[in-house]
């Protein structure tokens, strides 16, 4: 992230910090008169550059055209957002418009009656979006959220550090990744940046290895059978342990967060590590977290998660997801209209131009500014299988257990065989 945009940790309003941004003051009750005062409480995780000012500017633009509408905006760091949203939803009081990744978490909110069915609201314009992007937000053929971003997780690498280590081509196999790690270490270069404290970045490794070894259907079968204790999923842990045993991560990685000044993104953006496994938002967060605020620029490269020798999965099977918004159960009528405004072609182009968003509106894809973003978009256009982040695709308890179990494996506290048993135990209860 989850940032994993993951999800993941992204974007203080200019001059206002990360607090609430109040455009004007109005009442909270949904009016019957569409011209009566309405307040939209909007929570999002784009709490740094470059998307933070984009959202702020769009809010100001909408306010100018709809003077009866107030937008009370809370930009939150990813983990802080999830904690605050959990508290709000447990109290039965979700915000009017809030960050969502769809999947199992959204389904749980739907089942609890916390979000609106917006199928009819979006019907006139939803056809402009990529169908794959809508899948995580569609439950029982009804739409409960709209994605503004779609992408995939892959390896982002520092071209200069690869060259210094004598690596002339991006790895295409898992064995090649391990060889690259050895070469980087031999050259005195930290191979991989990882936010061990946040846990969700680590689950990407195990998830992708499970897909490459067992195929994209292996994870779905595990959920359906409520059994993750299979040879392919144990093998995924074995392959991950091969990497861990090489000690590839930066010093202090177990205590590192993703978006902090000394975290995973900053380590990459400041040239302190050669690789990170992260989603499409990585370049933007690397830049905003770096000392220069520019990141690696054209020194940054990308390659898809490679194949595993003997595995059933192909590199066209992608792991990832998109960022989107759901509408709370008591949201005022203007909320759906504001969401439509955010997803207009022109505004999707503005988001895409930052390099932090791969747009979900087809016609906005021409605004993607950099070669890496275009490569991701091309890869997604030819995908043969798609798996949403496991901590979003599954019920929250199961997703959290996967994150915890992979973290225990990486810390050396549990074996590959032990973690699938722990995950299975939780899977049987959800």
The alpha carbon of 5 is separated from its chain's Cα centroid by a whole number of angstroms, namely: 6
Q: Do domains 38-151+321-387 and 153-319+389-428 have the same CATH topology?
A: yes
User: How does the average pLDDT of the chain come out, rounded?
Assistant: 90
Query: What value, to the nearest 5°, has the Cα angle with vertex 30 and ends 27 and 33?
Result: 100
pLDDT score, position 32: 55
**Contact (CB, 8 A) for 302 and 156:** yes
> What are the pLDDT digits (tens) for 3-56?
333 333 333 222 233 333 333 333 344 445 778 999 999 999 999 888 999 999
In the prediction, which pLDDT does 13 show?
26
At 261-308, the pLDDT tens digits run 999 999 999 999 999 999 988 998 999 999 999 999 999 999 999 999
User: Per-residue pLDDT tens for 315-360?
Assistant: 999 999 889 999 999 999 999 999 999 999 999 999 999 988 999 9
Q: Do 51 and 10 contact (CB within 8 A), yes or no? A: yes
Choose from 160-164, 370-374, 390-394 the range with maximum mean pLDDT: 160-164
Q: Domain 153-319+389-428 is of which CATH architecture?
A: 3-Layer(aba) Sandwich (3.40)
Q: Count of alpha carbons within 13 Å of 219, Cβ hemisphere only?
A: 28
The whole-number pLDDT of residue 392 equals 87
Whole-angstrom distance, CA of residue 356 vs CA of residue 349: 11
Supply the pLDDT for residue 132. 80
Q: For position 160, what pLDDT does the model report?
A: 98
Instruction: Give mean pLDDT, residues 74-89.
Output: 94
Domain positions in the chain = 38-151+321-387, 153-319+389-428
* CATH topology classification for 38-151+321-387: D-Maltodextrin-Binding Protein; domain 2 (3.40.190)
Rounded to whole angstroms, how far apart are CA atoms 54 and 60? 10
**What's the chain look like in SS3?**
CCCCCCCCCCCCECCCECCCEECCCCCCCCCCCCCCCEEEEEEECCCCCCHHHHHHHHHHHHHHHCCCEEEEEEECCHHHHHHHHHHHHHCCCCCCEEEECCHHHHHHHHHCCCECCCHHHHCCCHHHECHHHHHHHEECCEECEEECCCEECEEEEEHHHHHHCCCCCCCCEHHHHHHHHHHHHHCCCCCECCCCCCCHHHHHHHHHHHHHHHCCHHHHHHHHHCCCCCHHHHHHHHHHHHHHCCCCECCCHHHCCCCCCCCHHHHHHCCCCCEEEECCCHHHHHHHHCCCCCCCHHHEEEECCCECCCCCCCCCEEEEECCEEEEECCCCCHHHHHHHHHCCHHHHHHHHHCCCCCCCEHHHHHHCCCHHHHHHHHHHHCCCEEEECHHHHCCHHHHHHHHHHHHHHHHCCCCHHHHHHHHHHHHCCC
Place of tokens 């500017």: 57
> Using one digit for the tens of pLDDT, what is the confidence trace for 132-151?
889 899 999 999 999 999 88
């Amino acid at each position: 992230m989850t940032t994993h945009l993951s999800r993941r940790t992204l974007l203080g309003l200019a001059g206002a910090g990360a607090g609430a941004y109040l455009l004007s003051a109005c009442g909270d009750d949904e009016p019957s008169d569409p011209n009566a005062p309405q307040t939209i409480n909007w929570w999002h995780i784009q709490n740094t550059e470059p998307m933070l000012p984009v959202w702020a500017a769009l809010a100001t633009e909408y306010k100018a055209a709809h003077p009866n509408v107030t937008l009370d905006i809370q930009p939150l760091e990813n983990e802080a957002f999830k904690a605050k949203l959990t508290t709000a939803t447990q109290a039965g009081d979700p915000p009017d418009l809030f960050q969502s990744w769809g999947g199992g978490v959204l389904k749980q909110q739907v089942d609890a009656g916390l979000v609106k069915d917006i199928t009819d609201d979006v019907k006139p314009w939803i056809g402009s979006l990529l169908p794959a992007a809508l899948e995580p937000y569609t439950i029982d053929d009804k739409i409960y959220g709209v994605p503004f971003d779609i992408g995939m997780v892959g390896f982002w690498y520092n071209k200069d550090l690869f060259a210094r280590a004598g690596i002339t081509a991006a790895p295409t196999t898992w064995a090649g990744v391990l060889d690259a790690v050895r070469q980087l270490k031999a050259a005195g270069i930290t191979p991989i940046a990882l936010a061990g404290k946040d846990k969700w970045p680590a689950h990407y490794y195990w998830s992708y290895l499970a897909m490459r070894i067992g195929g994209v259907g292996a994870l779905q079968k595990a959920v359906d059978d409520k059994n993750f204790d299979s040879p392919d999923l144990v093998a995924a842990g074995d392959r991950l342990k091969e990497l861990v045993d090489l000690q590839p991560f930066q010093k202090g990685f177990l205590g590192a967060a993703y978006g902090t000044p000394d975290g995973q993104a900053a380590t990459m953006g400041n040239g302190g590590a050669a690789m990170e496994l992260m989603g499409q938002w990585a370049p933007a967060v690397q830049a905003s977290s770096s000392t220069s605020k520019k990141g690696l620029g054209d020194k940054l490269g990308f390659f898809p998660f490679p194949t595993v020798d003997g595995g059933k999965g192909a590199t066209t099977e992608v792991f990832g997801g998109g960022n989107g918004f759901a509408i709370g159960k008591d949201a005022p009528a203007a909320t759906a209209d504001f969401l439509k405004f955010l997803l207009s072609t022109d505004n999707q182009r503005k988001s895409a131009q930052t390099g932090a968003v791969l747009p979900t509106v087809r016609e906005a894809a021409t605004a993607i500014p950099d070669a890496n973003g275009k490569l991701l978009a091309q890869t997604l256009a030819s995908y043969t299988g798609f798996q949403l982040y496991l901590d979003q695709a599954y019920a929250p308890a199961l997703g959290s257990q996967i994150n915890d179990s992979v973290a225990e494996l990486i810390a050396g506290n549990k074996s590959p065989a032990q973690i699938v048993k722990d995950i299975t135990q939780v899977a049987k209860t959800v």
